[in-house]
Amino acid sequence: MPSSVVDSDSLLAVDVGAITTRVVLFDVVEGHYRFVATGQASTTAAAPFKDVREGVRQAVENLQNTTGRKFLGDDQRLIMPTQDGQGVDSFAVSLSAGPAIKTVVVGLLGDVSAESVQRLARSTYARVVDTITLNDRRKPHEQIDSILRLYPDLFLIAGGTEDGATRSTQRLVETVSLVCHLLPEEKRPAVLFAGNQKLASLVRNKFQPLASSLSISPNLRPTIEAEDLGPAQHALTELHTQIRCTQMLGVDELNTWSSGTLVPTAYAMARIIRFLSQDSSKGLLGVDVGAGHTTVAAGFNGNLTLGVYPQLGLGEALAGLLRYTSLEEIIKWLPLDIPAEAVRDYLYQKSLYPASLPATPEDLAIEQAAARQALFLAFSSVVKDFPPGARRPAPGQTPYFEPILAGGSVITRAPTVGQSLLLLLDAIQPLGITTVILDQNNILPALGAAAARSPILPVQVLESLAFRYLATVVAPYVTARPGTPILQARLVYQNGNETRIEIKQGALEVLPLSPGQAGRLYLQPLHHADIGFGPGHTREDGIPVSGTVLGVVIDARGRPLRFPADHVRRRELIKKWLWTLGG
């Protein structure tokens, strides 16, 4: 990118998470925006404070101690704009704290509009508590009774193609409006309508006096074949802010400080993923495994697929994780022999004390196993929504990604980088050639939130060294028996030295290439292995590779991963993988 000079405006970005509140300072250095420093504190949405501002102030004070720069005035309010070298010029906020938003989705047909509105719900911190469609066998009064007992926070309504019939959708709207009328005024939900626009006036008249907030966005299913979630997702972010303002003290003030640009953390992260994917021939993947949620965002040529899963967080949600998977599926990831009862006890204990840290190697192994399974489930769910045209080695396989960006302290704060990488490789099981990058400072959401205030800031920071490049990963796609040679690799270093290795099916190998170094990787697929150029094909002039923490990692363990039936052999195999990646 050409060098560009920007105005010397500093920006403070805050991310209020379920457990931790982080503040990130960006400032201009030699005409370019750079990541300067970060501070953090415990989130204070719950008792005893019950006010998110306290956690933000504590995090800002920690940043002040780090930088020696004052951001808060004597009245504990933000100094903005900058005055005599103190304070900041602008402020951005992203938010993921708070309970999952209880959501009722409403659509005409289960496999058309209702399916689209379900995907819309999965793009934010929502928990779908009920679904109403024309196929619903309950009578209207049964639907109403069921919803009244749930006290939903949000209705998402879709249905009817543009210029299509309106009568059926109108009946569903009437049912929802009656529910809103019957609910106590202080419990009335927000409503988002993204259906046939012929009904927009009716919806506005019905819900304006009944809903706590009302938003009408373009039809997310304008035709049977077409789906466009973008405008509805943008409207949903605004409703998310309004709902959180009523649920948590301090959110409204933070939104005011940010000039009304507060966004959900997942949306902020997805905004960057979508932007970066615009000029990529492959997809671009971002994942975050947090205490409150697991998030997966994938961009394909500027088109976004986003999945947010509050039920798969590593905090309070761990108590309910076994509703979505089995204890055996978590235990299979363990390198240690830990009784099932101990695993179950740890999951429940962690759900009661989500801010606690693993105290023993066994605790750490269980937490990483739970994180693997949570990310595996989230990725397996969202992969179904990837566009059919995404590049992949075969139908039904994982698309190619470059790069993969990962956040969440269970990944970025693992005791060794080998544990971080193996967790991601096990859960995502990527194919082809990709670069795995850790967002160890948790600045990806901050960049997404900052984009609304300064569009050039994310571009320049992403080009800096704010992220940790973990490994270049080569994952062949091939059908071969374990032990069969499937790939010959040769890494030529800048000084002319080279390393050669023959890769067998089932192996995990590492070719060292330290940060700051560069080399060229020559790969010769065998047995029609596909490394991203087609079965048996390669790039004859080699692939330029840059140094990373772990160098070049060749993952030939097969897709999907298969484990020995014998528990002892399985644990020894996992230990071998960890040892290969440095422990």
Residue by residue, pLDDT tens for the chain (583 residues) are 344 444 558 899 999 999 999 999 999 888 888 899 999 999 999 888 899 999 999 999 999 999 999 998 888 888 888 888 889 999 999 999 999 999 999 988 767 778 899 999 999 999 999 999 888 888 889 999 999 999 999 999 998 778 776 888 888 999 999 999 999 999 999 999 998 899 999 999 999 999 999 999 999 988 888 888 889 999 999 999 999 999 999 999 999 989 888 999 999 999 999 988 987 789 999 999 999 999 999 999 989 999 999 999 999 999 899 999 999 999 999 999 999 999 999 999 999 999 899 999 999 999 999 999 999 999 999 999 999 889 999 988 999 999 999 999 999 999 999 999 999 999 999 999 999 999 998 899 989 888 877 788 888 887 777 899 999 999 999 999 999 999 999 999 999 999 999 999 999 999 999 999 999 999 999 999 999 999 999 999 999 999 999 999 999 999 999 999 999 999 999 999 999 998 7
H or E segment to which residue 556 belongs: strand 552-556
The residues of the chain that CATH labels 3.40.50.2300 are 101-247
Instruction: Name the phi and psi angles at 360, rounded to 5.
Output: -135, 165
Alpha carbon 431 to its chain's center: 19
The residues of the chain that CATH labels 3.30.420.40 are 11-95
Is the distance from CB of 6 to CB of 31 less than 8 angstroms? yes
- At residue 3, the pLDDT reads 42
DSSP alpha helices (H): ranges in 208-323?
Answer: 230-247, 251-257, 265-276
Q: Return the closest-CA partner of residue 114 out of 139, 137, 132, 140.
A: 132
- At residue 137, the pLDDT reads 87
Q: Return the closest-CA partner of residue 266 out of 230, 244, 235, 290.
A: 290
CA–CA gap between residue 567 and residue 571 (Å, rounded): 6
Q: Which residues contact 308 (CB under 8 A, 6 or more apart)?
A: 122, 123, 124, 125, 126, 264, 266, 293, 294, 295
CA–CA gap between residue 366 and residue 350 (Å, rounded): 11
Q: Which amino acid is at 104?
A: V
- At residue 8, the pLDDT reads 54
Instruction: Indicate the SS3 state at residue 470.
Output: strand
- At residue 302, the pLDDT reads 86
Local structure of residue 202 (DSSP, 8 states): H
CATH number for 101-247: choose from 3.40.50.620, 3.40.50.1820, 3.40.50.2300, 1.10.3720.10: 3.40.50.2300
pTM of the model: 0.92
The Cβ-side half-sphere exposure at 535, using a 13 Å CA radius, reads 6
CA–CA gap between residue 227 and residue 229 (Å, rounded): 6
CA–CA gap between residue 459 and residue 1 (Å, rounded): 9
By CB neighbour count within 10 A (0-12 exposed, 13-18 middle, 19+ buried), where does 175 fall? middle
CA–CA gap between residue 292 and residue 298 (Å, rounded): 20
Which class does domain 11-95 fall in?
A: alpha beta
